[in-house]
Structure 1
Amino acid sequence: MREDISIRTGYGDCRSFIFTPDGSGPWPAIILFMDGGGIRPILFAMAERLAGYGYVVLLPDMFYRAGVYLPFDVPHLFATGTVRDVIGPYSATIDNALAAEDTAFFLQYLDTREDVAGPNIGTVGYCGGGAWSLTAAGRYPSRVVASASFHGTNLATESPMSPHWLAPYMKGEIYVAGAAEDKGYPPEMAARLEQALSAAGIDHRCEIYEGTRHAWTMPDVPAYDPIAAERHWHELSLLMKRKLS
């Protein structure tokens, strides 16, 4: 089931979507942080599948500061080479620090729902959302017990907002899967993230999915890899089952 809701944040109303399994619950909650393609049917399908594993899934529109927009025609944008031109202004309205502030309000909302079981939650993010997922793990360690990033970008940079700086504060289990070809997550960045998580003693696993390109989980982009995408679902479901069941 899907509910269209609005969550009041410090910056306005964030349109969001709740997906729940069949039954009466309660169930553990997961926040799904979108990729750079914005809210669209593909993300609804992914949230619905995740909810089907037995979770309340919150999918917030992280571009809400830019105002209301129609779903982007992602295949067309890739075909015409206009992805950055069209989506860039929306992406510019959000960063890791703002996402962390928003997450406080998302947690408050989840706490009001009777169908959410307990305070422990999981997070998962794609593309830029991968950094938001890991940032949530570092900023809200008493709540986030499992955090995943798939083809996440800028996970370990010199920016003070880089999520790898938060490794000493994390308490949950971390899973990171990068693409073999990804300018936003080169080998040296992967090594830096691995080092930060290891030094902090975090229960984690960082992998590179060989033969993949950035955004391999998304069926509406040219890089989509159905085999690697299924592997991602397998790893994600096991992680959440270990920490939230």
Structure 2
Amino acid sequence: MMDIALPESLAQARERLHQALLEAKRPLNDATLLAVSKTKPVSLIRQAYALGQRAFGENYLQEALDKQIELADLNDIVWHFIGPLQSNKTRAVAEHFDWIHSIDRLKIANRLSEQRPSHLAPLNICLQVNISREASKSGVIPEDVKALAYEAAQLPRLRLRGLMAIPAPADTLEAQRKPLAELSHLLTELQTTLPQAPLDTLSMGMSDDLEAAVMEGATLVRLGTAIFGARGAVNS
């Protein structure tokens, strides 16, 4: 496979987001590009950082912790944990990440709040919603979002920022937009019922559905392949 040139692919990803925001008639600073760096070497993260990228998403805890040690000199990286989280791993996420996108039960939220060090800012969280109701995916079902959000918003060491979803793949823009619009509507409802929470985040949109997500209000778009190429496709 042909090597990917990171400066070009990152510039293309930024331009794609820029154009999507223009098309959606939204401010150009209304959405942030989250570079999904799972399985990618530290050298590529450093290269993306040198090109101005600051937000990075990781799925695998031990891999992410190892990277954080190697990149400790880059003290303004914003680390997002976007993978499933087991109870026995909450402490490491609470101690070493700025965001987690995959909260789907109160037990995990409680542990994160209890384990978040007091010298750090509260941990930003998104609730993961199983918006397409797929048996194979994690996430709280839409009907249970309000109850979980209410409980999570009370936890002292967490900041409930919004919702995350990974919809089922769809072939058309219209089909892609439907579940994303549902997620956006859920966030609007939460903003009404929980006005005290800083609910400003929709983490949705990946390499295949970025445009649909931006049309429906995404504020964090998670791009991995579009920036770094397929697994193993980019030289370190």
Fold conserved between structures, TM > 0.5: no
**Higher percent of residues as strand:** 1
TM-score by length of 1: 0.32
TM-score by length of 2: 0.33
